[in-house]
Copies of this chain bind each other. A is one copy, B any other.
């Protein structure tokens, strides 16, 4: 047992760190540090930089451009991305539909889609949730009726992140209306430019536009875009939801936030003294650091255990703990940053349209409240914390 990184792992970390430091455009880094939204171009530009280095789809098999890194290297890579801070490769392609196509797609699908995912030539989004099927995905109603060489899709998806940027959407659709719940669902790839696809933006409480509804009205999809077998989509979806284990706790994100909080708390003056020198503030921060360090080790324990689990399709149920604790800590950093900013958090300014607000404050002050609002989603999406607790109770505790 040695909980430190090996010299090889440290060398690897340093290599990743140096590369990111040199290659990450300053404008992107600044936006991330200040909590501003990235543009579509920012995300694409950065992923292509990674792709040129051969690191955009590090988690994939070498055959399709992957790196062959083990779980610990994957972890180190993602933590360095988070701490930079840099955007990670677009998850919907790299961590979701990509692995599904690799595992279950046809050769033609692989050749057609995978290189374009790696280079972010195609922007993918996820069509799982529906208004009446959130945590209870199996209740989905969107249908795909076979009609010759095509499927005709009707229905509605919601909470679709970045649908406004997307070229493609991977959907769960009901292909056998008679079958119950999980059965009769298929996994279909749909071109967003198809006739009958309409995207409606959903404004979130931070004032941003990340999520959307997608409406499908007699959308015709070539049958070739079915992944795997008809009516087996539920299995692929489960595979997908379990496939991203590398840093579900997002420890690097929280580390970066804590570093940022310290930097700002050293700048903010309270009655002539930096907030960072205040005993009570320091204890609050130290308390968060303790929790984060514990989470980091817990995450590393799960990563290390991955080696013994390799090949198993189901996620380690311990991932649920990482999801819960990770979300709580990220949310706590957002709350603490809001406290650091204080009354200066009140003015609202969005994107470039910040009106008179900039006369009042600075951008980093104005993003504190929106980030706090926005990050409430972390304990909701991808299976709410309540759902995660149900999973732990059942799978680990046997209750």
Contacts and interface: CB of A to CB of B under 8 A. Distances in A.
Nearest to A278: B279
Contacts of A280: 279-280, 283
A283 B283 CA distance: 13
Interface string A268-305: 00000000000110010000000000000000000000
Interface in A221-247: none
A116 to B, nearest CB: 49
A280 B279 CA distance: 8
Interface in A39-69: none
A279 B279 CA distance: 8
Interface string A254-278: 0000000000000000000000000
A229 to B, nearest CB: 42
Nearest to A279: B279
The A contact surface, by secondary structure, is helix
A353 B243 CA distance: 62
Interface residues of A, number: 3
Number of chain copies forming the complex: 2
A285 to B, nearest CB: 14
A280 B283 CA distance: 9
Contacts of A279: 279-280
A286 to B, nearest CB: 12
Contacts of A283: 280
A286 B280 CA distance: 14
A280 B282 CA distance: 11
A274 to B, nearest CB: 17
A342 B393 CA distance: 36
A269 to B, nearest CB: 19
A283 B278 CA distance: 14
A34 B170 CA distance: 68
A279 B283 CA distance: 12
Interface string A133-146: 00000000000000
A21 B94 CA distance: 76
A399 to B, nearest CB: 15
A283 to B, nearest CB: 7
Interface string A318-334: 00000000000000000
A7 to B, nearest CB: 42
Interface in A17-36: none
A279 B277 CA distance: 14
A350 B99 CA distance: 65
A279 B282 CA distance: 13
A45 to B, nearest CB: 47
A139 to B, nearest CB: 22
A279 B280 CA distance: 8
A165 to B, nearest CB: 41
Interface string A107-150: 00000000000000000000000000000000000000000000
Interface string A75-101: 000000000000000000000000000
Nearest to A283: B280
Interface in A157-185: none
Interface of A: 279-280, 283
4 contacts: A279-B279, A279-B280, A280-B280, A280-B283
Interchain residue pairs A-B with the least CB separation, the first 4 = A279-B279, A280-B280, A280-B283, A279-B280
